[in-house]
Amino acid sequence: MKGNALELKAVTRAYGQVTALGGVDLDVAEGETVAVLGPNGAGKSTLLSVALGLRAPDAGTATVLGGAPLEALRTGRVGVLPQESGLLEDVRVGELVSAVAGMYPGRPDPGRALRAAGIEELARRPVGRLSGGQRQRVRFALCVAGDPELLVLDEPTVGLDVTGRRALWQEIRARTARGRTAVFATHYLTEADDYADRIVLLAGGRVVADGTPAEVKALVGGNEVRFALGGADPAELEGLPGVRHVSVTGRDVRLRTGDSDATLRALFAACADVRDVRVESVDLESAFVTLTGGRD
């Protein structure tokens, strides 16, 4: 029977007068891949820091793999890929990964981590001669060097090209298929939509949505009508039947509507010069903007 890899109960954390987390509850089951999303300042990095034991909550509790977060981290049961981390410039990639792997119980094979990150061919290259994307793959190799039960990843694909991103996610999903767990924060909403089993959406230090990508998008509901129109009047468009939300950027207009047929009939009757009309299901970006109040 699966347990929880991560549990946060009523976690609160403030920095002076600013509340970064305001009573957050979160359970992540073993084997899940969970995306933590939110606008800047929503509390994502603070949540991950509390989960790792790097910051203590002002109130509430955090449990990782059944015990204290720092103990799970100390014993190598958690692998971390931070958003920003330095690397030793004057050592070779293979030497660095070997050194880190040697710190874990059982001294796992560093070649396995090199293969997981797709950097076997870089093993003899000095870290200082790597590109940004190659450095990120080295960081991922260090993250998985101990074959951790829980991966905590903050913006894991920054600096990677399309092929590198796909390869990294294939490796992560292969690990969760074997019962490992992954919790990640990202600004790439398509990655959350494509690879997460579940999305936890934060805004203002609180959870505003929690569910599968489909469930989060369904919270907004309806369709989007997109079209080009010069001089669009948002107030007039808000009065069209079925319209719930209006977004105007230059000539590009988006209408979120609960009745796209009625909206389109009224739109064509009111605006003869509408062009490039498209009707689409609400995507994760639209749900993100709506549920977080449009903050970035």
Segment 265-283, tens digit of pLDDT: 999 999 889 999 999 888 8
Per DSSP, 107 falls in state -
Q: Which residues contact 184 (CB under 8 A, 6 or more apart)?
A: 33, 34, 35, 36, 151, 152, 153, 154, 156, 196
231 by Cβ neighbours in 10 Å (0-12 / 13-18 / 19+) ranks as exposed
Give me the residues of the chain with pLDDT under 50, please.
Answer: 295-296
Instruction: Please tell me the pTM assigned to this model.
Output: 0.83
* Counts for the chain of helices (H) and strands (E), in that order: 11, 13
User: Going from the N-terminus, what domains does the chain have, and what CATH number goes with each?
Assistant: 4-217 (3.40.50.300), 218-291 (3.30.70)
Beta bridge partners of 59: 12
Instruction: Say which amino acid occupies 100.
Output: V
Distant-in-sequence, close-in-space partners of 38: CB < 8 Å, separation ≥ 6:
44, 201, 202, 203, 292
Confidence at residue 294, expressed as pLDDT on a 0 to 100 scale: 57
Element (H, E) at 26: strand 18-29
The per-residue pLDDT for range 137-158, each reduced to its tens digit, is 999 999 999 999 999 999 999 9
